[in-house]
Amino acid sequence: MKKTVRSPGSATIINAIATGSGSAFGIQLYVTAQAQIKSSGVKCSSDLPVNPKLMEICVDKVLKHYDVDTGVHIKTQSTLPMASGLSSSSATSNAVIMATSQLISDEFGLKPMDEMQMLNLGIDASLEAGVTITGAFDDASASFFGGITITDNYQRKIIQQSKMEKQNILIYMPDRKSLTAQSDVNRMKLLSPWVKMAFNQALQGQIHDALTLNGILYCAALGFDPKIALDALDSGAIASGLSGTGPSFVAVVDDDNIQDVQEIWSTYSGRVIATQVDNEGTKVV
């Protein structure tokens, strides 16, 4: 028996590290996890050179939840760049947790976990693996449910949840990686009064303004060049800013201006990825 689950990455509207409250939306770049029963032990492999620790913790937590003694083989594939500020860890956790849960519940005739159980188990695994600072409930919930989520990360509570209008999303990825867990938390917390302003904009539905303000603020704290976002805005982007703790920048762009934004970002070293909003979230495929 095999179970295959696809989980989207997400892009930042509000980074929760400064205040504990955040917001993100799903994007059509995915981590796909295939889970299969094996005689014993846990084996995790990926098409990307990633540390399997997070996947192993996810599987272990699912096995403990169901209290079963079996081996599991997890294999992941990804169109989502790792360590890029696009929620690769959250997408991996969500995909592996759901695939393993579905596999175990079906194989042993047990009650499946509900959505919030799976989401929280993935966050617990990410915290234990040391790949997140706040637990990334904003990123993880946007990846799990798709669309936009606005969250209290400390309470693990979704304040608002909605589908996002289908729009072009451009991502600029510099030739570097940025690990969230290695970011300067104290420097980010200095921004909290202004990040709260951006968060209030998000609560009021001013998603594009919130994304841009948040992105510029975190550029200042983390040493990224805000000119990258400003160039996108100058070329017609509706919104643009740093995603997560970087290094990726995200832009929301209409059809008329997508080529102009792609062209200006192509002048920087790195690559530009064109994608769309994901409103479906994590699901069995």
221 with 271, same domain?
Answer: yes
238 with 116, same domain?
Answer: no
What is the pLDDT, as a whole number, of residue 199? 98
CATH of the domain at 138: 3.30.230.10
Kindly list the averaged pLDDT for each block of 10 residues, start to end, along the chain of length 285: 96 96 98 96 90 94 96 96 90 97 97 96 93 87 98 96 96 77 80 97 98 96 94 98 95 98 97 97 97
119 with 232, same domain?
Answer: no
What is the pLDDT, as a whole number, of residue 180? 57
Contact assessment for residue 157 and residue 151, using Cβ atoms and an 8 Å cutoff:
yes
What is the pLDDT, as a whole number, of residue 177? 63
Q: Residue 122 is encoded by which pair of tokens?
A: 């993935």
194 with 141, same domain?
Answer: no
129 with 195, same domain?
Answer: no
120 with 201, same domain?
Answer: no
Q: How many domains does the chain have?
A: 2
CA distance 51 to 35: 18
- Condensed to tens digits (0 to 9), the pLDDT of residues 123-141 reads 999 999 988 877 789 999 9
What is the pLDDT, as a whole number, of residue 5? 98
Residue 53 sits in which domain range? 2-162
CATH of the domain at 208: 3.30.70.890
Q: How many CA atoms lie within 13 A of 14 on its CB side?
A: 33
Give the CA distances from residue 35 to residues 108, 176, 187, 255, 270, in Å, rounded to whole numbers and listed in that order.
Answer: 14, 31, 40, 39, 33
Please give the biggest Cα pair distance in the chain. 58
179 with 238, same domain?
Answer: yes
Is 219 within a domain? yes
What is the pLDDT, as a whole number, of residue 284? 97
Q: Report DSSP state, residue 181.
A: G
What is the pLDDT, as a whole number, of residue 131? 85
Contact assessment for residue 87 and residue 24, using Cβ atoms and an 8 Å cutoff:
yes
CA angle at 118 for the pair 201 and 76, rounded to the nearest 5°: 100
Going across the sheet that includes 271-276, the strands are: 239-242, 249-253, 168-173, 271-276
Domain C-terminal end among 136, 162, 188: 162
Which residue is listed with tokens 């996890």?
33
182 with 69, same domain?
Answer: no
* 3 state SS of 270: coil
**Other CB atoms within 10 A of residue 41 CB:** 9
9 with 58, same domain?
Answer: yes
What is the pLDDT, as a whole number, of residue 179? 60
